[in-house]
Every structure is written in C-alpha cells, then in structure tokens.
Structure 1
C-alpha cells in the first residue's frame, strides 16, 4: 500500500531520456494503493520516461509505474489510463432582465464544481486466474458417474465389461467480479475392466479397477493488464469401482454404484515476462450413486425408459503451498468438498433389441462448486462458479458388433454469473 517502504531515487534537477527501474520484493504482502508509492522524485522539469524492467507483482496485485501531475513517479496497483473526467456544462448566463419600475438585479451565475479526479481501476495479476484454474481442474478431472464408464446392456451374471472413455471439457470463468478471466480446456482418458461379476439372489454385482490420465490448460487475462498467464495440469489416477444392478440385461430396476480413486498432479504456471512456476498436488475422491429405471408400457417396439438418479462425491485435494520467484505465497484454505447431483435420464428404448441405437437425454441439478478459494500473501480470492448449476446431456448408444457398444455424449452446464461449460464424451464398452 502507500505506506510501503522502498528505495527512492531523488533527482534535484531536471530529468530527460529513458531508463528502466528494477524492483525486488523483500517481503511485502501487496495491497491496493490509493495515492501510490513514490519511487522517483524530480526537482526540475520531469522529461524522463521511466519503465519497469519486469512486471512488479506482489500478492494478487500488479503494480505499474506512473508519472503524476507533480512530475514524480509512483508505483500503483491501478491502471495508468483512467477514463477522462466529464467536463461540466458551461454555465448559462441569465437573460438581461426587463427594467421594471424597480429593476430586479439578477442572481450572479454559479460556476459548476470542477469535475472529480477520475479513479483508475485496480489491476490484478493474470497469474491469479492460472492458479485458480489449475486448482479447480485438479479437483474434478477424474470425477464421473456410472453412465460415463458403463452403458453396457444384454449382460448376464458372468459377463465382464472392459471399457474406455475419452472426454473433453471447456469452461470460462471470472474472478473477483470480473477483474480476472480465465478459460480452461481439459482432456481425460480413463480405462478399466471388471475383475468380478457375481450373480446374487437378486441382481448382479460386478467390480473392477480403473486407470486414467488427463491434461488441462488454462489461459488467464486480467482487466486493464496487457500481460496474460497460462496454467497447465498433468494428472494420473488409479481407482476401484463396484456396481449392483437389478436387471443387467435391460439395465432396468434399481442400481447402486460406488467408486474410489487416488490422483496425482503436476502443475505449472507461466506468466508473460515472469519466471515459470511448478508445484505438485494429490487427491482422493469417493462416489456413491443410486438410481431406478423402468420402461413405460407400450405396444410399440420403441418406448421410453425413465431413470431418476442421485449421486454424492467426496473430493479431497492436497496442494502444497507454493512461493514463487517474486516471493508471492500461494496457499489453499481448505482441502475437501462434497459435490451432489440429482437428475433424470430418459432413453428412447427398443424393447426387442436392447442393443439397438437408442438416443437419450438427461437433465441434472449440480450442487457444490468445490474448493474455489486461494490466498495470495494471505489475501483470499475465489472464482465465480455458482454453487447451483443446471446440466443438460444428450447422448446416443448403440452396438458396433454383438459384444461392443459405443456411446457418444454432449453436455452443457449453466448457472449464475454468466457461467457456462461444455463437454464431449466417447465411451466404448466390450462384453466378454
């Protein structure tokens, strides 16, 4: 802030030419400025142009070097070009009064007040968006529901399922009311296979193991800042799953699905004209999902299958606190969260050929935004992900041959704060 102590250049005479100024943070936490931190004073004519040799970032704020009307140079966490003040209207001179018997002296026109000095907007560092983008994508990279990995039909108590899916997702988000914006693109591949399939007194229980790998990239910008920053997350995971299905041949009746997984991530942040940063994180997640499907009675070959679903996911992410090359301390405030989903899936179902191509639509209410707070030198910022979101999913499933099915899925999410996210998903299931 304005009271920060700093080295100071005093020029008793006039200044001219161009020069760079290099700044090193010796432990300041960073804060918004009001009048700025004076670093150069000029006694005479201030004709020199001073520029920073590299970005000055402390905490979440970026400081620019600006010359004020007194000719001195100040560090400010504000943009250097605020909007121009509005010039007041020229005062209207009153008409000359008509001289009556007793002339009335008109009031002296009142000059309008001078326009207020414009307040420049605050400037944040785009790296804030890159760190938050990395943090969020590491939490949900491998989260999924049963239908994401298993759409297999026409299976009996002894059939095993080997599967693979590839999915992509894009979302755009804001931080601090739009001061920082970032968009994240991620791609994930996960493979798995049953190692147990057991016929129960009622229904079939099958369980298996899964492995995954994913990568996400974040591009971040800050309002009134010409720099940008990029984040990247590379992750791997391993987990176990188990599903009980009342009728595995038609995928009707009730089902219970659960999975648990461990994940490991390597994260990087690269800001324009700043040092590259890297740090690690690891996570754990567990899911419990239930649903019940029934077929709408119809004499036609095709009819609707309706399936309400509910799911809860516990997510834990341990991200090491990080100190960057400029001394900014990036720390997380919490490690765990619970995410919820309630929805209904409707499939256009062929009663005679359960492996025939069947389109479906699913509508979900998503509850929970995950851990979305990060502190920069102790000052906390969060993204604008709404806690409640609506999701629409459109898909189609059909057989490639008698033992292999393919599913193609597209989805979108919407919520407050102009939030939106879009994804695509390809799933292969092989029965053996």
Structure 2
C-alpha cells in the first residue's frame, strides 16, 4: 500500500510492506468475513432490523453482528464497556452483505477498547451491492491500540465495487483514538458512492496513521470524499491530520471551528486529494474558523489534484500554521491550476520553513485580504495574485509570469514591509485603495490605474511604468532615497508625486507633484511635457522660500503647465526668484504658469500681498535654463526690483479710506439750514419756533473721487455714499444769554467704492448703521457752539474684479467721530449776514482682521483722521405772514471752506507688508444751501449742495454731494 503526497508536490513516497498473512487478514476484515464464534449477537437478536445494547460489560470479543439485511445497532448505557483483545474485526462491529443500510448509533457508553491486530474500535462494513454504512458517536471513549495501519477507532466501510451507498461517520462528542498506528476515524468507500465524515465535537487522535479521513478506494468511482469539521480537537503524532481523498470525483474539507494538529513528520494537517489522473473533480478546502497547526515538516493545508480538475482553497477565518523544511501553511498543486482566496478574517503563518503559500502546476487565481506571514512561492504559470487587503509579511516569488494586482476598494490599505521583496512577476497593477511598498520589487511592467501606490523602496519596471489613474508616490517624506528604475509615462488622469528619484525618461500628460507638501522629485533622465501639469507647493515669499522642486538631470522638451499652490506664504519681494524647476541638460521644454489672473499679458499667481510670474533663467544667470517664480513688476535687473503686488492689495489699502468717507460729520448749517436764528441776529427767547421740539429726517448722497498723495500701490478710488438719518431735538435750557438745544439721531446708509490700481481693480460695498447726538448753544448775541458725536457699525464685502472672486465677505468694522464747531453771526442789515466759523473733527475707523483666500492676513494699523475747517458763510434771510397771519421764512446762503487733515492717513498690514494711503491734506470747498419754513416754523425744509477738491493737484481728488432735511416741530 502506498500513502504519501505525490512526487509532483515535492514530497517523497512512503511504502510499507506487509506479510501475506497480514494482507489476508486485512481483506477478511474489510469484506466482513469473520469467525462464526464472534457472531454471538451479544445484545440479543435484532427485532425489526434494530437492536439496543444496554448492558454494562461486553468482554472480548466485544459486540459483533453479521447481517444480511438492514441493522441499526444502538449503544445506550453510559456504563457500557466493550473490549476486543483478539485479531480482526472490532470491539463493536457490524458486517453485512445486503442492499440495506448498516447503522451504529453510539449514543451512550463508557469505553470501547481493542488491542488485537487489524482490529477497530467501532466498525460498520458492508460487502453487499447496496446500502450505506453509518456510524454516529455522541459520547464515550474508543481506543484502538492494535498494530496495523488499516483499522480505525471508528471505521465505516463499503467494500463492494458495485455498491452505490455511502460510507458516513458523524462524531458529536467523546474520544476516538488509535494508538497502534492505524486511523483515528475512517470512512472509506470501494463502491460508487461517497465517503463523508462530520465532526461536531469530541477528540480524535492517532500516532502514525491519519487522524480522520474520508476516502474513495475505487479507481473507477466518481464518488465524492468529504470531511466537515465544526468543533472538537484532532491530533496526530506523525500522520496526516485530515485526509479527504477521491479518485475521479471531488474531494473536500470544510472547517468552521475546532483544532487540528500534526505534531511531527512530513504529512499535512488538512489534505484534500483527487488521486486519479483521470479525475475531473475539484480538490477543495474551505475554512471559516478554527486552528490548523503543523509542528512537523508538512503543510498546513494541501489541496492536490492529480487529475484534470482544479483546486479551490478558501479561507474566510481561522488560523493556519505550516511546518518546517518545505512545509507551507497553504500548498496547492494541479496541472489545471485553481483558485485560492484568503479573506480578511484569516491568518496564515509560515512555520520554520518560512513558506506561507506554495503553488505548483497550472495557473492559479489567488486573492488575499487576510494576514499572511511568510513567503509566497508561485509556479512559472500565468498566475494572478490579487491583493485586496490585509498584509503579506514575506517575499513574493512570482515564478516569472505572475500578474500582481492591488484591488483594495475605497477604504482598504496594504503595507508591504521593508525587509521583503517582490520578484518574478510579469506585471504589477494598482487599481484601487492605498498600497505602500517599503521593500523592493522587480517587474516587467507597472501600471497605476487607480488608488494610491507608494514606493518607499527600490522598484524596477524594465519595460516601463505608466500612471493612468490614481496616484503613484515615489518616496514619501521619510523615504527620499526611494527609486523607480525604468521609463515612466504619466498619462492623462494620472498623478506622480514623491521625494524620490525616477531613473529613466519620463513623459507627462497628467500631473507631477514633487513631494507631498514641500519636497524635491528627481528625474535622472529626460523629461517630455505632453501637455501635462507640474504642480508646485510653495510658501510664497522671498528667494529662500520653502518650495517643491522638479529636478531633471537630462534634457527637457515639450510643453507643461505649472500650477502653484501657496502653502501659507504671505508673499515678499524676490530678487532671483523661487526656483521650481532645475534643468541639468538642454532646457528646450516650455513651462506655462496657471495663474490666478493675467497681468500685462502674463499669468500671475497670488501669494499674500504679492503676485508672482514665471520666468526662465535667473536674474544673474539668465542662461541657466531653470525656471523661477518672481514677484517683480518689471523683469529687468537694470531698473531695480519694484514689487508686483497682488490684485487684492489695493482694496485692502483703500478699505479704511472708504469707511472714512461714510464716517465724516457735517456742519451745523448743513443740519439746520440756519433755521434756529433766522429773522435777525437771534431768535427771540419767547419765539415758539425756538422753544419747540422737533422731529426730523435727512437724506444725503455724495460721490467722492480720491487720488491719494501717498499710496503704496498707486490706488485711486471712488466712493458713492448714501445716508438716511432721523432724530429728535429740542430745547434743554433757556436763559437771557441764549438757548441750549440737544438732539439724538439714528442713521443707516451704504458706501459703494470702485478701487483701481495698476495691480488690480475691485469693489468695496459697505453697509453702516449707528446713532449720534448733538448739543448746541445759541447765544442771543449771534454766537453759537455746536458739539456732535456719532457711533457707526459696518459690514463690508470686498471683491476683486481682476481675480473675479470675493476676498472678504461680511467683514465687521466700527467707527466713531466727534467734532466741536463755533461761529459768530454778524448782521449786515435787515436780511444779510456773515458767519465766520471754525470746526475740528476727529474720526476713527476699525475693521476686523481677516485672511483672504490667498493666505493674505489683513489687519488695520491706523485709520484716524483729524480735520480742521475754517469757513465763511454769507446768508440772506426773509420772512412774511400769510393771509392767516402765520409766519413763513426763507433763506439762502453760500459758504466757502478750507480743510486740513493733521494726521497721516491710514496704513494696513498685509502678511507683514505695510501699505500706506494718505490723501492730500489741504482741501477747499464751496456750498450753496437754503431753507424754507411755514406755519410759524412748524414745518421746515433745508438743504445744501457742496463741492470740495484738494488744493494740491487741484481737481484730482474731489467730492460732490448734497443733503436735504425735513423738520416738524410741535
């Protein structure tokens, strides 16, 4: 008899010879022949094909039945003991030669022991032409200690080649052990049916024999062999753990729980074999749980198909550990190949051999998402190894033609450690997920089609690599020495980045992004731009700014777009510029900046307070062929390095001035139209009009065009202001010397500003609302003193027309202002008068700090103004009574003013760059106004139109506007 793994699996044959007498005895046992003296019907004669053994003690030769029809033998006494000490048969044995089933139900017993040669513990043998042999064991202990490799502690056997029945064993508990060299549990079928063993619990053991097997022994049979393990423990000293062996049909093992261990020797733990060269069935092992361990030199799992069929190994859980020598945790062999699937819940460990997976023969389709520790050794066939997750901690030896792929889905990742290498693969494909190779690999082709592949070791793609989708990283920040050797094409839709080196020529129709934040990517070869993009991250600042850089040691050609991503840079003035492309050879390639806007025909990118354009050649080394980002207004070293400011900077510079145009305070005459003293030098203290309280509303509008005398960015702006005010005022005190009038008011309005500069254009739209108060003394001698104060809250939007985007939305601000004014009315006759006057106004505005979309941090430094005014008004007043005796009055006036701002304008900080805007200090202005009141001054209306201009650069800066007030007294 020959039993071993086939030579094709790399295992040696093991042959055991027997004497002629031993063979004869074995034949007699397996065919059911036995001495009539043993057919004692120890438990009584069967009744209706059934017998129950309920006694306590059945000494040698034990319990034996020989039948020609069906029989169900039941052991049903927990104290039952059966012993077989002589040669042949078993301690509990039923043989038959009919077409009916033979069943042994070992439900309850204490122990069954046999020590005779070729003697099994519990056996059911059918030599007839039909019927199955069925054994069920729930409890108790069966020990077979006789010498022979054939019998088992449990034996279910069909010996007739024409019998279509099945040999079946179910073990639910108890212990079945063979200590003499035979099998532990054996279901064997020499007919045409199946052989099946099911283990749900209990203990099975053997020494040199197989612990559990289901075997087809008829070479012409297409019957299936199967073992199902859902619990319990199996072990063998040096035999096979579990054997499922067919001839032409399928052989399979399933395991969901339990433990199977081989302690020594060269045999496998789980072994599924299609044994016949003409076999068409599948050798399969399916494991979802449990533990398989080989402490010898054999395999953990071995699926071996010697026929034309395939193998199928599937692990969704459990742990498998291989042995030493050439023993693998998983071993598969078939000329037609097969499939191996290792799920995410499975653990595959190489033993002392270091081999986790060994595959020989035809092409295999292997998928792994579990944890695999040890080497993966594949045949020279066109295998497919698909990694969908988990880990492989060992070398991958592809045999020369394996296609390796990574399909990790949307969330899985895979890391291949630095001690390990991938070799013998024809192709590597990255399709989805994230994979990191810290070791080395060598392949014919590399294709990154999706996901993210990180190479932190040394890789070779001898026939070339391509990136058509996803991201290929050559060296992360901690592995700048990573290299890929071979030509590389970055195709449309692909992205290359990293800190390492590509040793070979490269073409770019996709995106190349050096580093992964700030870093350098080196091409030791030539670079061809095929319409792709070079993506550069940089901290936009001066020449020493941290930046990504592409280094090309060879030549450049073709065209490439260059995209700049500012990483928090506030901008600065450059000299040579920020080098982003370093070319060692002929610099014939063209790099075109993808900017945020176009400045003077060139693309420009914004960084903080500055803008940058792309130039070939350094300022001092114009022929070096490198590419630089420079914040120069003029690219001419002979005229200095004037800055190129960002398009948003003029808006930030003008912002405080725009708020000031809303924050200004008017004059007393603009508020009242002189109505409080019309009709002479003063109003009589007894005049009803002077003493009455009034409610009023005012609307005003103005257009301001400002060309500051000092402006960092040369900014002009026009501001259109609209205000609506309403308030109440009335006499607070009256006396012989005069009258004190007080008032409170609220206001709402907007200012819309158009800002223009060489560097960019934009708009500032502000809404303001607030409250104010006034206190005015009217002396009876024509003297007046007026004080007013105002608080205003602002909400502003800043938008760049040049960049076509909003720079700040809903920025909050605050302003306050107060003034003191005094004047003396001088009568020139009944209706004419002159009023010289002086006013001093202080105005302060603030806005919240903000950071714009281009990382420019904007904050206001100074936003105050202190303006003095000297004015002279000429007034004409008239009054009359209507037919009802009610007084009406009217007045017109003209006024001339001089203004002077004693402070230095405003300044704003943009990412460390100070920007100043200061309007001309000296202005002049003219105003023309009038008032009309009726019904004894119960109703009145007054207004003024005004125009002002700077007296330095006359007419460049000006303001025109008007105010109209309606008042009702009671």
TM-score range, shorter chain: 0.7 to 0.9
Native 8 Å contact 1:203 1:246 kept in 2: yes
Per-residue deviation, 1:230 = 2.2
Summarize the alignment of residues 245-264 of structure 1 with structure 2, pairs less than 5 Å apart.
245-247=778-780, 253-264=782-793
Secondary structure in 1 matching 2:651: helix
Out of 717, 730, 734, the position equivalent to 1:196 is: 730
Native 8 Å contact 1:25 1:326 kept in 2: no
Secondary structure in 2 matching 1:134: helix
C-alpha RMSD of matched pairs (Å): 2.8
What is the alpha-carbon distance in structure 1 between the residues aligned to residue 741 and residue 904 of structure 2? 30
Secondary structure in 2 matching 1:333: strand
Native 8 Å contact 2:812 2:848 kept in 1: yes
Native 8 Å contact 1:396 1:409 kept in 2: yes
Per-residue deviation, 1:127 = 1.8
Per-residue deviation, 1:363 = 1.6
**Aligned residue in 1 for 2:807:** 276
**Aligned residue in 1 for 2:916:** 382
Runs of 4+ in 1 over 6 A off after TM superposition: none
Native 8 Å contact 2:889 2:932 kept in 1: yes
Out of 272, 281, 286, the position equivalent to 2:818 is: 286
Out of 576, 580, 600, the position equivalent to 1:39 is: 580
**Aligned residue in 1 for 2:659:** 138
Residues 255-288 of structure 1, C-alpha deviations (whole Å, 9 max, x = no match): 1111222211112222233553132111222222
Aligned: 1:149 with 2:671: yes
What is the alpha-carbon distance in structure 1 between the residues aligned to residue 558 and residue 831 of structure 2? 84
Secondary structure in 2 matching 1:17: strand
Cα 1:398–1:164 change in 2 (3 A) is: same
Summarize the alignment of residues 393-432 of structure 1 with structure 2, pairs less than 5 Å apart.
393-399=926-932, 403-416=939-952, 420-432=957-969
Secondary structure in 2 matching 1:180: coil
What is the alpha-carbon distance in structure 1 between the residues aligned to residue 699 and residue 872 of structure 2? 20
Native 8 Å contact 2:694 2:730 kept in 1: yes
What is the alpha-carbon distance in structure 2 between the residues aligned to residue 177 and residue 197 of structure 1? 46
Segments of 5+ residues of structure 1 without an aligned counterpart are 83-115
**Aligned residue in 2 for 1:77:** 631
Cα 1:53–1:338 change in 2 (3 A) is: closer
Out of 175, 184, 187, the position equivalent to 2:721 is: 187
Cα 1:148–1:66 change in 2 (3 A) is: farther
Out of 388, 392, 410, the position equivalent to 2:925 is: 392
Out of 765, 783, 795, the position equivalent to 1:232 is: 765
Aligned: 1:13 with 2:555: yes
Per-residue deviation, 1:62 = 1.5
Out of 169, 172, 184, the position equivalent to 2:706 is: 172
What is the alpha-carbon distance in structure 1 between the residues aligned to residue 649 and residue 710 of structure 2? 10
**Aligned residue in 1 for 2:847:** 319
Cα 1:174–1:398 change in 2 (3 A) is: closer
**Aligned residue in 1 for 2:870:** 343
Cα 1:33–1:185 change in 2 (3 A) is: same
Cα 1:51–1:417 change in 2 (3 A) is: farther
Per-residue deviation, 1:7 = 0.8
What is the alpha-carbon distance in structure 1 between the residues aligned to residue 572 and residue 748 of structure 2? 39
What is the alpha-carbon distance in structure 2 between the residues aligned to residue 390 and residue 80 of structure 1? 35
What is the alpha-carbon distance in structure 2 between the residues aligned to residue 394 and residue 302 of structure 1? 19
Out of 98, 123, 126, the position equivalent to 2:647 is: 126
Native 8 Å contact 2:660 2:844 kept in 1: yes
What is the alpha-carbon distance in structure 2 between the residues aligned to residue 31 and residue 261 of structure 1? 39
Cα 1:175–1:348 change in 2 (3 A) is: closer
Per-residue deviation, 1:400 = 7.1
Secondary structure in 2 matching 1:16: strand
Cα 1:340–1:275 change in 2 (3 A) is: closer
Per-residue deviation, 1:372 = 0.4
Residues 78-106 of structure 1, C-alpha deviations (whole Å, 9 max, x = no match): 13565xxxxxxxxxxxxxxxxxxxxxxxx
Aligned: 1:367 with 2:889: no
Cα 1:352–1:208 change in 2 (3 A) is: closer
Secondary structure in 2 matching 1:383: strand
Greater RCO between the two (CA within 8 Å, min separation 6)?
Answer: 1
